[in-house]
């Protein structure tokens, strides 16, 4: 099937309620695609079975629809590249692992469990993905590997090439991280769970995604993903990273700053248009927060208006999220 239209996706992890920060990424991704009359995919990144719950997934879809966002393909809508839940796509990841292994991109890593546990979730900054292996495992002899494997099953790591992967970001501009930034990363944990970086790339390739717009916390994951595209022989999509929302204290917007989940705001009687207009203003897309539906904002979509830095919201901003 040939793809002529732009295709974007929103790929949330159903491990909690949708909050303003996720809603902003979803809105910006949706606007980018709708402004070009493209197609939107909703993909559930539910690989971390311990954290992801069906109830969160159901709530998430409901919250998105309530906001006025829609998608052509997704767990509810189906589509040509179903399933749209990562937990149901393991054979595709295993297939990609087979290719990477054959081509010599992977090695077994016996580093500690703590390092490897976080790999299934999208990192909020590379540090949160766990310490990289210092590379010792990359150089183990067959005998050393066998000795370690007798005690512990290994994780699989992708060996980052020793060069930079610069890219032109649709919002951030030219982005260059140093060669090997973040180190070799886990593509399959010792317990068999597939790593976020691999799953996201395999799915974006399979689902013919042309444009990825997501939160700034994944900016530094992009070189890793570019290395995976290259290793899998696939053309990468265009990337853009929208701003993170911070509370008045400078930390990521969260419960401690008040009601930040859409479900809560809705329960308090806040109309969806108030939130959408507020998000558009916070991100720099419009100057003054006025109630608006996502549809109404399509005409004002200009990636160059979107802020290139985290948005620190003061108390007035938070207070503006009040029902009439
Ligand atoms: N699932 C990731 C998250 O919840 C987003 C993945 C992506 O957009 O690449 O943060």
pLDDT of residue 317: 86
**d(C-alpha 25, C-alpha 33), whole Å:** 12
**d(C-alpha 273, C-alpha 294), whole Å:** 8
Domain with CATH 3.40.50.620 in the chain: 7-88+243-321
Ligand 1 centroid distance, CA of 255 (Å): 20
The per-residue pLDDT for range 5-23, each reduced to its tens digit, is 999 999 999 999 999 999 9
Q: Of all protein residues, whose CA lies closest to atom 10 belonging to ligand 1? A: 122
CB of residue 40 inside a 6 A radius of ligand 1 = no
**d(C-alpha 48, C-alpha 64), whole Å:** 22
Which residues in 150-183 are b (16+ Cβ under 10 Å) and which e? eeeebbbbbbbeeeebebebbbbeebebeebbbb
pLDDT of residue 167: 98
The per-residue pLDDT for range 80-122, each reduced to its tens digit, is 999 999 999 999 999 999 999 999 999 999 987 555 555 666 6
Residues of the chain with pLDDT under 70: 1-3, 113-122, 124-132, 134-135
CB of residue 200 inside a 6 A radius of ligand 1 = yes
* Four-way CATH pick for 90-196: 3.30.160.60, 3.40.50.2300, 3.30.465.10, 3.90.800.10: 3.90.800.10
Q: Are 212 and 166 in contact (CB under 8 A)?
A: no
Nearest to 32 by CA among 285, 309, 288: 285
Q: How many CB atoms lie within 10 A of CB 227?
A: 22
Instruction: Specify whether 255 is catalytic.
Output: yes
**d(C-alpha 316, C-alpha 278), whole Å:** 12
Strands 245-246 and 311-312: parallel
pLDDT of residue 323: 75
Token pair belonging to 37: 């009359």
Catalytic residue among 101, 151, 255, 307: 255
Write down the pTM of the prediction. 0.94
User: Which residues have a Cβ under 8 Å from the Cβ of 206 and sit 6 or more positions away?
Assistant: 81, 92
- The answer to whether 290 is annotated as binding is no
Which residues in 47-78 are b (16+ Cβ under 10 Å) and which e? bbeeebeeebbebbbebbeebbbebebbbeee
Nearest to 293 by CA among 129, 68, 82: 68
Q: Which of 198, 200, 228 has most ligand 1 atoms within 8 Å of its beta carbon, as the pocket-test mutant?
A: 200
pLDDT of residue 78: 97
Q: Are 29 and 8 in contact (CB under 8 A)?
A: yes
**d(C-alpha 319, C-alpha 167), whole Å:** 38
Q: Residue 154, CB half-sphere, CA atoms under 13 Å: how many?
A: 19
- The answer to whether 13 is annotated as binding is yes
- The answer to whether 9 is annotated as binding is yes
User: Which residues have a Cβ under 8 Å from the Cβ of 308 and sit 6 or more positions away?
Assistant: 171, 172, 173, 243
Domain with CATH 3.90.800.10 in the chain: 90-196
* Four-way CATH pick for 7-88+243-321: 1.10.3470.10, 3.40.50.620, 3.20.20.70, 1.10.10.10: 3.40.50.620
pLDDT of residue 126: 58
């Amino acid at each position: 099937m040939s793809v002529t239209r732009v295709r974007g996706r929103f790929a949330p992890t159903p491990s909690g309620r949708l909050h303003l920060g996720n809603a902003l990424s979803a809105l910006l991704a949706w606007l980018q695609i709708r402004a070009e009359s493209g197609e939107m995919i909703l993909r559930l990144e539910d690989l971390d079975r311990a954290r992801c719950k069906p109830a969160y997934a159901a709530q998430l879809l409901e919250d998105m629809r309530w906001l006025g966002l829609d998608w052509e393909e997704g767990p509810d809508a189906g589509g040509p590249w179903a399933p749209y839940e990562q937990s149901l796509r393991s054979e595709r990841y295993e297939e990609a692992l087979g290719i990477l292994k054959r081509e010599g991109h992977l090695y077994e890593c016996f580093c500690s469990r703590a390092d490897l546990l976080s790999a299934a979730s999208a990192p909020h900054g590379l540090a949160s993905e766990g310490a990289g292996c210092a590379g010792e495992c990359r150089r183990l002899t067959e005998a050393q590997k066998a000795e370690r494997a007798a005690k512990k099953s290994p994780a699989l790591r992708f060996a980052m090439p020793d060069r930079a992967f610069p890219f032109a970001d649709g919002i951030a501009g030219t982005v260059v991280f140093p060669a090997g930034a973040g180190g070799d990363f886990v593509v399959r944990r010792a317990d068999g769970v597939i790593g976020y970086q691999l799953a996201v790339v395999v799915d974006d390739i399979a689902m013919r995604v042309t444009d990825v717009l997501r939160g700034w916390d994944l900016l530094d994951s992009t070189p890793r993903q570019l290395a995976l595209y290259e290793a899998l022989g696939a053309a990468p999509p265009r990337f853009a990273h929208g701003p993170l929302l911070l509370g008045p204290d400078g930390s990521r917007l969260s419960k401690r700053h008040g009601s930040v989940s859409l479900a809560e705001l809705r329960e308090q009687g806040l109309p969806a248009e108030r939130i959408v207009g507020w998000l558009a203003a916070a991100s720099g897309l419009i100057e003054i927060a006025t109630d608006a539906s996502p549809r109404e904002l399509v005409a004002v979509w200009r990636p160059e208006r979107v802020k290139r830095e985290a948005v620190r919201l003061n108390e007035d901003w938070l207070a503006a999220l009040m029902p009439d």
